[in-house]
């Protein structure tokens, strides 16, 4: 017997809202980021990525733990 397929439906309204928030965040910091040398911009981008990934992992674990209870 096949495993049930999990389907994720995107909430396009929420996606649009999150994109606006990302754009607002970028508008707040872009001038400062772009004033840095390219190497430091790359380091900062990697730092952003690492921080976001770490936060997502923690939040997903919390969410999954709550679902399990």
- 5 occurs within a structural domain: no
Provide the 8-state DSSP code for 8.
-
Residue span of the structural domain in which 54 resides: 12-68
Q: Count the helices and strands in the chain (H runs, E runs).
A: 2, 0
- 42 occurs within a structural domain: yes
Tens of pLDDT, residue by residue over 38-54, are 999 999 999 999 999 99
- 22 occurs within a structural domain: yes
- 4 occurs within a structural domain: no
pLDDT at 7 (0 to 100) = 56
- 59 occurs within a structural domain: yes
List of the chain residues with pLDDT < 50: none
- 2 occurs within a structural domain: no
CA–CA distance, 51 with 69 (Å, rounded to integer): 28
How many structural domains comprise the chain?
1
């Amino acid at each position: 017997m096949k495993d049930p397929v999990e389907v994720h439906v995107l909430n396009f309204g929420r996606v649009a809202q999150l994109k606006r928030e990302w754009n607002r965040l970028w508008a707040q910091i872009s001038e400062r980021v772009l004033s840095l040398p390219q190497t430091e911009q790359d380091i900062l981008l990697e730092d952003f990525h690492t921080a976001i990934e770490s936060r997502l992992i923690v939040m997903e674990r919390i969410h999954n733990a709550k679902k399990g209870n």
